[in-house]
Structure 1
């Protein structure tokens, strides 16, 4: 099974450097333009089914990319729940020990206050991947997800346990860049990550660390 992956496009809270999680903010003008550019690029690639996180920023991105295609929302593709820290400014959160552990010492990270654990997110992602593989091992799917979710999915495809997730390149993948992973029922394979040759060059990278 082939899995094409994109992260939702640029949002208002991305620009304001605020943590989103299960809270939401609308796509910016640039975000909408980037999604349309990815849509043009995807016209040359066959996709059997499109799936999206049900959060507005993700499904809005998917709709701009695929327009009239059937897009299935799946709650297992939602961003990690960051609990009480959602909506806060990243710069302020960097002072919090549990937020630091989330990114740099996952073996010490249980969950942010009222949020999800790494293990909970890994479980729902694996559940989604196995279900889609069992439905049709030969299919090619496209998923629209989120920054931390992509980092965790990357770790899964590197076969890393939760306590080693900090070994993943944790630069947040650019919104509307394209990645391709494969799964044969047992082995994980990463073909490429973060292809963005079809997008306008970034002025500034977004970091949550």
Structure 2
């Protein structure tokens, strides 16, 4: 099975630097354009299935990528729930939340947001998604999801411990990761590529 893993396009909250989590905001014109550029990049790939997070920014991106294909949604692909921090900019956080946000980056094993999820909880549902599709899917499978999910998948396929989750590569909007996956092990063939956006902008 070949997994084509994509982060959603740029959103209004991305531009405003607000934490989204399970909150949501629509794609910007840049997000729509970049998703269109990625569609051109992968247009020759015959996708057997397309899956997306149920959050609208992911579904909207998936609809642009494969407009004539049914999009299946799965809770396992949702972004990490950030609880009380969702919708806020970093400078708007309560002092206790700022300390929690620091552990998000620096000590992920201890991260526990008020009303949100730990990395372990997200990892459990991501692994549940992989188990589900390993039983039912084959061929080329498109996954449209979010930053933490993609980083957890990369960690799994590269056999990294959680403490290394924020090592490169950086997960840009509409970045593409391609993984050859046998249901247990995955070999990353392309990692968080945004070559389509560079070409589209004349870089």
For normalisation by structure 1, the TM-score amounts to 0.87
Residue 161 of structure 1 corresponds to: 161
Q: 2:78·2:146 contact (CA, 8 Å) conserved in 1?
A: yes
- Measure the CA separation in 1 of the matches of 2:118 and 2:41: 35
- Measure the CA separation in 2 of the matches of 1:115 and 1:165: 21
| Mapped pair 1:98 → 2:100 | yes
Taking a change above 3 Å as real, the CA distance of residues 3 and 55 of structure 1, as seen in their structure-2 partners, is: same
In the comparison of the two structures, how many residue pairs are matched? Answer: 199
Aligned pairs (5 A) from 1:27-106: 27-93=27-93, 96-106=98-108
For normalisation by structure 2, the TM-score amounts to 0.90
- Measure the CA separation in 1 of the matches of 2:109 and 2:126: 19
Q: 1:62·1:144 contact (CA, 8 Å) conserved in 2?
A: yes
SS state at 1:142 partner: strand
- Measure the CA separation in 1 of the matches of 2:200 and 2:165: 25
Residue 176 of structure 2 corresponds to: 178
More helix per residue? 2
SS state at 2:148 partner: helix
Q: 2:2·2:178 contact (CA, 8 Å) conserved in 1?
A: yes
- Measure the CA separation in 1 of the matches of 2:135 and 2:152: 22
Residue 3 of structure 2 corresponds to: 3
Q: Gapped runs of 5+ residues in structure 1?
A: 204-209
Note the aligned Cα RMSD (angstroms): 2.1
